Chain A
Amino acid sequence: NAGVTQTPKFRILKIGQSMTLQCTQDMNHNYMYWYRQDPGMGLKLIYYSVGAGITDKGEVPNGYNVSRSTTEDFPLRLELAAPSQTSVYFCASRTRDYGYTFGSGTRLTVV
């Protein structure tokens, strides 16, 4: 049981490039979330999904996009990367008792 798996762990992007952060969970959870973590700012919700085919915006969705074609996968797409998107990104899925299980994160630097 791998839980929530995120890839890649680290990435450096140039301004204007695009990339997809991958997130996969094997717990058959319907609810999945993408957060970004900036120093001293806690975790901010980017996008979330309540099931396959259903996604919605969180607090800070600008510059990002998501899709949810299967229960297991919830990729986060960055189009036209900007320095403001330098952050650590965490994917999470909801466990049975409301607790979230987080992945180990993707550290992204945009230069």
Chain B
Amino acid sequence: QQQVKQSPQSLIVQKGGISIINCAYENTAFDYFPWYQQFPGKGPALLIAIRPDVSEKKEGRFTISFNKSAKQFSLHIMDSQPGDSATYFCAALDGGATNKLIFGTGTLLAVQP
């Protein structure tokens, strides 16, 4: 119930292509869904986030698509660049008093020039 399942584990995309990472959850009480980007040797950094009352959110080349009925959400990176090469984590917020984030297992993205 508390898991967030993320796929694929790794992804190779050509420069200019679209990168798509998918996540699924079970707990309908989750009320906030962020994506984090992590470069080697650094901590995760918030990239973009969405709430379940919205089906899509776009920030520059990054878009979250959210399907509440299917309990799935995905990250799309348009016009992928070598500088986007990083590990991406989806997460879901277990709301209430503790506000704990439950993380997916991560996707290692490599954008080839």
Contacts and interface: CB of A to CB of B under 8 A. Distances in A.
Interface string B91-113: 00100011111011110000000
Interface of A is mostly: strand
A45 B100 contact: yes
A31 B94 CA distance: 13
A94 B100 CA distance: 9
Contact of B43 (A41, A44, A50, A102): A102
A99 B49 contact: yes
B45 to A, nearest CB: 7
Interface of B: 6, 9, 32, 34, 41-46, 49, 89, 93, 97-101, 103-106
A105 B105 contact: no
Interface residues of A, number: 26
A48 interface: yes
Give me the 7 closest cross-chain CB pairs, A-B, nearest first.
A102-B43, A42-B105, A99-B46, A43-B103, A42-B103, A98-B32, A104-B43
B105 A40 contact: yes
Contact of B34 (A4, A45, A99): A99
Given A31-B99, A50-B98, A98-B93, A40 B106 contact: yes
7 contacts: A33-B100, A40-B106, A42-B6, A45-B101, A48-B100, A98-B34, A104-B43
